[in-house]
Amino acid sequence: MKVNHYIKEKILEIELTEEIDHHSSEKIRLRIDYEIQRFSPKKVIIDLSKVKFMDSAGIGLIIGRYKVALSYGGTLEVRNVSGKLKKILEMSGIHKIINIKTVA
């Protein structure tokens, strides 16, 4: 699992790759939390375009980062969600509190 980040004008974009499961979620959580703390962005964008699999640990990861972003005065958005991941996110109800943008 690679975690890339980009910061521009108080917008932090996090690009995740491969899988988000209970094995990788702790490493991802630590990295994203560090970057949020470091930059205090107005907006955090999590890009899932390269994620092939996500389980309940991924849902927990996203909800947790939403709470962290809010605690620093920011918002969170999830972008480039494939059809398969969109179904998982919708079943969890996460789309009711977090802006989810699907792959165009």
- Comparing CA positions, the residue from 33, 62, 57, 36 lying closest to residue 47 is 62
**Structural domain count of the chain:** 1
Taking alpha carbons only, the member of 77, 8, 78 closest to residue 39 is: 8
How many other CB atoms sit within 10 Å of the CB of residue 62?
Answer: 22
List, for residues 25-56, the tens digit of each pLDDT value.
Answer: 999 999 999 999 999 999 999 999 999 999 99
pLDDT reported for residue 2: 80
Q: Tokens representing 76?
A: 């969170």
DSSP-H helix ranges across 1-104: 25-39, 56-71, 83-92
pTM metric for this prediction: 0.93
Residue 84 scores a pLDDT above 80: yes
- 49: domain CATH number is 3.30.750.24
Structural domain boundaries, residue 56: 3-102
In terms of phi and psi (left: phi > 0; alpha: psi -120 to 50; beta: otherwise), the region of 38 is: alpha
Q: How confident is the model at residue 104 (pLDDT cuts 50, 70, 90)?
A: low
